[in-house]
Amino acid sequence: MNIMKFNGVLAAGLLGWGIAQAIKFFLYYILNKAVRVERLIGSGGMPSSHSSMVCALAVSAGRAAGFGSTLFAVTAVFGAIVMYDAMNVRLESGRHAKILNRLMDVMQEKGTIKERSIHAGKELKEFLGHTPLEVFCGALLGILIGFLTPLGTCA
């Protein structure tokens, strides 16, 4: 068994994630004129790297095993779940975190609490999910990457 074989399906998924994260980083810099290294690995923002990854994975799996294969079906359903979660559950969780963080600020200002005891004194993470547009753009990017990535020996 040659462990050095190139797995194009895996490579497409990783490329989908990495390219989307790089785009996020540069878009943040262009729009805010500031470097935020967290944008290279963090969730949320344009485009959705989760969507890009799962779409690149599904398309390349379809190319490798056939679009009528069980492998394609599993990766497509997995992708749909990930994208639904990003647009709904994670997006709503970020909205809740924003409200809770503001509530904690008001309580601190009014003297109701002395310090943030929730989450080790830190604000809750607000940048979690994606808008439908961010998911759509990530999906398009992933589909493109899935079709362009060489399959190597996995075909």
- 3-state SS assignment for residue 19: helix
pLDDT tens digits, one per residue of 13-70: 999 999 999 999 998 888 889 888 877 787 778 899 999 999 999 999 999 999 999 9
pLDDT tens digits, one per residue of 96-128: 878 888 888 787 787 776 666 655 567 777 777
Q: Which residues, including other chains, have CB under 8 Å from residue 103's CB and lie 6 or more apart?
A: none
- 3-state SS assignment for residue 119: helix
Sign of the Cα pseudo-torsion (48, 145, 153, 81, in order): positive
In the beta sheet, which residues pair with residue 7? 152
